[in-house]
Each structure stands twice: as C-alpha cells, then as structure tokens.
Amino acid sequence: MTTLIWIVAALVVIGVYLSWTAGRLDRLHSRIDAARAALDAQLLRRASVAQELGTAGVLDPAASIVLYQAAHAARQAEEEQREVAESELSQALRAVFAEAPQVEVVREAPGGEESLNELSEAVRRVPMARRFHNDAVRAARAVRKHRVVRWFRLAGHAPFPLAFEMDDEPPAALEPRAGA
C-alpha cells in the first residue's frame, strides 16, 4: 500500500511539472505572438513614414523613387520575403539619409520637422521591437529543446519559433536625432 501511495505521489508531481512546463511554453508562445505584432506595427510605421516622405516632393526625384519603391515593397511583401524587403528599406533609408544636408532639406520643408521626428522614432523603435521578438523566440526555443518537452509533445502543434533577421541599422544622419 505504501508503494502505491509513493507511485501516485510521484505521478502527481510529474503531472504538475508537465502541466507547469506546458503552461510556461504556452505563455512563451503568447509572448512571441505579442512581440511579433509589435514588430509588425513598428515595421509598418517605418514603411509608412518612408513612403510618405518619398511622395512628399521634398527629396530629389531619384531619392524619392528609391525610398518610395523600397517602402512600398516592404509594405506589400509576403511573409517569406518580409525580412529581405525590410532590409532593403533599411538600405534605402541609409542611402537617402546618408548625409546631413539631405536631412536639412527635409527639415526646412513645410512639415519636414515632424516627418523627420516620426521617421527617427520609427527607425529607432524597429531594432528594439526586433530584439524583444528575437529574445522571446530564443527563450521558447530553449524550453522546446528539452527532452521532456519533445517526448511529451508539450508544444502541441505550435510551429517552431523563428527569429526575424534583418538589417536594421539606422541612417547615419538620423542617428543623433534618434537620441534626442
């Protein structure tokens, strides 16, 4: 009888541990979903501001076309091509705002100061949102690599989390403004 009590107690402890681990994994997946939604919002904001600047007529025609096309491609990209399109937008932003005189041209235009502030904020927030997302992915992957999680299939049918890798280096001319 004592052996049966110990076996039942061990099974209860194992069941509680498995339930706690499954709950933790579910919370991590929810955190990934929330971080991904925040990242998507920041990427959309950055692309929208860039597209708006591309059509505002304050930049030279070549810069306007480059910026507009990269922003449009980033907004319209399919999920499989999103990282590449967002990296290309980062490169276009660096190319257009590589030098301070281009920033001054935009600042002197009507509404240019607000547009630059909004762009600086968007450019500054994208790396933070990406870092939060990738940290959540890293934490979920660490839990999912444990044998117990794999053996008991505690992750259910949730897809294996993937990090969002992109070039998010800000333009040199906007960096001092991002800290302001």
Mean pLDDT of the chain: 93
* Closest to 169 (Cα-Cα) out of 104, 106, 89: 89
Report d(CA 45, CA 47) in Å as an integer.
Answer: 5
Decide: 48 and 75 in contact? Cβ < 8 Å: yes
Per-residue pLDDT tens for 100-137? 888 998 999 998 899 999 999 999 999 999 999 999 99
Provide the pLDDT confidence category of residue 19 given band limits of 50, 70 and 90.
Answer: very high
Would you state the pLDDT for residue 68?
97
DSSP string, the chain: -HHHHHHHHHHHHHHHHHHHHHHHHHHHHHHHHHHHHHHHHHHHHHHHHHHHHHHSS-S-HHHHHHHHHHHHHHHH--GGGHHHHHHHHHHHHHHHTSSHHHHHHHHHSTTHHHHHHHHHHHHHHHHHHHHHHHHHHHHHHHHHTSHHHHHTTTTTTPPPP-------PPPTTTHHHHT-
